[in-house]
Amino acid sequence: MAENLFIRPGDNITLTAPRGAQTPFGTTPRVKSYPVIAVYEVGMSEFDASFVYMPLTEAQAYFNRDGDVSAIEVFLDNPDRIDPAKIAIDATIERPILVTDWRMRNRTFFGVLEVERNVMFLILTLIVLVAAMNIVSGLIMLVKDKSSDIAILRTMGATKGAILRVFLITGAAIGVAGTIAGFVLGLVISLNIESIRAFISRMTNTNLFPAEFYFLSRLPSVVDPREVIVVVTMALVLSLLATLYPAWRAAKLDPVEALRYE
């Protein structure tokens, strides 16, 4: 708001309210100037773009609410402990009151975030599936390219189980290495996402995270250990499953057919 109105600390701002003093000619607007002491930023554009804070006595005098307030806000050290606090407030105040919390006021926004979270998990699953298919195709090409070598090993006494284990270890090594590399890269990006966003925005001269659309001035990032474990486990399991068919084909290879045209 300060940037849009070109206001800095030390300037004066004039407030105009339609409900003012009663005169013989009707209600006149209330106009009063106040000095700007400071400019704040909480990181959420909904507040940064529309809220002005002033002393309680001045606000009561301006809005003709002597000794009265229209709302009371309660701040908690732990924002997740809302329900016990609401129960305590309802039990303390006897008369009926309307109690709302940050979840109710931002229900639509959190609903959109939940949808985006589920969609991103689905997209991530598809990416892992594509990577697993790449492992399958790579191992199939490897089996086809090394068919003569596999046949020679079989004629030298290697069992089907040994060939199966060789290709299982090969595919598992690819999957484990890729999963670990992706985990480390994703963790580094998650912990530095705001710096990366700011760097890309400066390089491309664009706003990659507009606050008026996302209601946040900075791109948030929280690493959830449970979800990280789920994703890493899913990637490892899919990569191991992707090696079964190529390894089975390598183990079932007939040495005679493989060496017939060598």
The dihedral sign for the CA sequence 145, 151, 154, 156: negative
The predicted pLDDT at position 243 comes to 85
Tell me the pTM: 0.59
pLDDT tens digit sequence for 12-54:
988 887 776 667 766 778 888 899 999 988 777 777 888 888 8
pLDDT tens digit sequence for 75-108:
888 888 888 888 888 888 877 778 888 888 778 7
The segments of the chain whose pLDDT lies below 50 read none
The predicted pLDDT at position 262 comes to 61
The predicted pLDDT at position 29 comes to 80
Scanning the structure block, which residue is given the tokens 């890729």? 178
Q: How distant is the alpha carbon of residue 255 from its chain centre?
A: 53
Contact criterion met (CB below 8 Å) for 42 and 11? no
Domain locations in the chain? Answer: 1-70, 75-102, 107-259
